[in-house]
Amino acid sequence: MNKEARHFAKSILYTVTSNILSLAISTIVILVVPKLFGVQEYGYWQLYAFYTSFVGFLHFGWNDGIYLRYGGQDYKQLDKKLFFSQFYMLIIFELLIGIMIILMTLLWITDVERNFIILMSVFSMFILNVRYFLFFVLQATNRIKEFSKLTILDRVLYAVILVIMLVLGVRDYRYLIYAELLARGITLVFTMFSCREIAFAKLKSFTFTFSEMRKNISVGVKLMFATIASLLIMGVVRFFIERSWDIATFGKVSLTISISNLMMVFITTVGIVIYPLLRRAKHEDLADIYQLIRNLLSPFLLGVLIFFNPLRYLLLQWLPNYAESIKYMAIIFPIVVYEGLMSLLVNTFFKTIRAEAKLLHFNVITLALSVILTIISTIVLHNLELSIVSILVLLATRCILSELWITHKLGIDIRIEIVKEALMTIGFVISSLVLNPLDGWLVFTLLYVIYLITKRKSLKHAINEIVHMMKVST
């Protein structure tokens, strides 16, 4: 293979390895913690996880701007003095934000548990945002090997600390938070050494480079708001569920979402490898690359749904206290199809063609729909099942609208494929809810085989293209 092909293959290998490990550890945490902890304790842990999913945006697009502006560049060519100044300006900024949130929490929040969770979320915010500055530098400059190793370190440390605590009989959700913060903090230190030219430059190199900060924020803020809006689409529903029902119900619903999102750990990081390569690709090749990836990705994501019924049976045996929430998985599980397409394909191409404003536009539209549907389902009708259905409908709508725009931009027509995927999703939900697990599995498997038959030509073409590229690279 030539040098570039070998580097790409190694990047994919490291990404797959780190994600398999992350997937395994996440699976253990998701399945073991609710088994050993009480429903209420698990609910508080999920509330912390929910809050921390948003704190990563309190850099206001600073990190995203670096990722977008410097994506595809070589690490050696970066102005280390400039990045050193930006890094420590971000640290100062995050400290100020953290102090403000802590003061407001101490003044206004009286609930002890919620107070503790918010304070811990602030510590998580500081560690995550500082660490992601360096993570984004590694990703943008295609240092995927180092990024993957650090990801593995983070998950392994967390797993080791967690196992020790569980063996010692710890059953307090607070210690789950401490374990995660400790693992993230240690990983931050190692990440700083991985980017030592940036993190440990001479102090005399520091200057307040506000113009560079403004450039990064102005470029990254659109992507940041697009990502916030994306999280809020599901976040609004989860927030109103937590407010309209109790912490136990919130924890149960969050469990089903966490299980359904497990595959996203793998899919999201593959997009990290693809982005720098797409930035270097010729614009006229993007349409072919899009179709190639989609023709392989869509059948794979729909194929994941085949494993739902066996998974549901095992979960019912393992977590009988969550039987009520596991039935909702038939509705939530198909989000892996639309979130997978959105994360690996759509978002990556929006960033490649620098259409973050349009991505924000579609996310805001879907967020507005989310607010309307959530108010109707939780406050007006007080219907938990309808709230959960709205999650799938909203994520599917966002993905379809975004894909129609970007494929039109690239000169591709995928309307038939969108209809096929929608029919497959509807077929999956109905067969899983109405039929017993075995019959539901048989019906959907039959539907999937029919789907593959309709896709045989495009699948064959995509596989042949991959084989051809590998031969050319050797």
Kindly write down the DSSP assignment for every residue of 129-164, as one continuous string. HHHHHHHHHHHHTT-HHHHHHHHHHHHHHHHHHHHH
- Cα–chain-centroid distance for residue 135? 15
Given a cut of 70, is residue 226 above it in pLDDT?
yes
Averaging pLDDT over each range in 63-77, 117-131, 252-266, 380-394, which range is the top one? 117-131
Q: What is the pLDDT of residues 376-411, one digit of tens each?
A: 999 999 998 899 899 999 999 999 999 999 999 989
**What are the DSSP calls for 406-418, one per residue?**
HHHHHT---HHHH
As a whole-number percent, the residues of the chain with pLDDT over 70 amount to 90
What's the mean pLDDT when you consider all of the chain?
86
Mean pLDDT on 188-197: 95
Q: What is the token pair recorded at 455?
A: 């896709």
Given a cut of 90, is residue 348 above it in pLDDT?
no
Closest-CA residue to 72 (of 297, 289, 307, 281): 281
d(CA 422, CA 219): 34
The structure's pTM equals 0.74
pLDDT of residue 326: 80
HSE on the CB side for 428, CA within 13 Å?
A: 29
Higher pLDDT: 148 or 367? It is: 367
d(CA 391, CA 413): 26
Answer yes or no: are the C-beta atoms of 231 and 105 closer than 8 Å.
no
Closest-CA residue to 349 (of 296, 299, 410): 410
- At residue 1 the predicted structure's pLDDT band, cuts being 50, 70 and 90, is very low
Closest-CA residue to 351 (of 278, 267, 409): 278
Other beta carbons less than 10 A from residue 334's beta carbon: 27
As a whole-number percent, the residues of the chain with pLDDT over 90 amount to 36
- Cα–chain-centroid distance for residue 386? 24
Mean pLDDT on 104-121: 90
pLDDT of residue 127: 96
Other beta carbons less than 10 A from residue 228's beta carbon: 19
In the chain, domain spans: 1-208, 222-474
Closest-CA residue to 425 (of 332, 327, 292): 332
Q: What is the token pair recorded at 375?
A: 């108010």
Q: What is the pLDDT of residues 3-48, one digit of tens each?
A: 555 555 566 666 667 767 777 777 777 778 888 888 888 889 988 9
- At residue 277 the predicted structure's pLDDT band, cuts being 50, 70 and 90, is low
- At residue 286 the predicted structure's pLDDT band, cuts being 50, 70 and 90, is confident
pLDDT of residue 3: 56
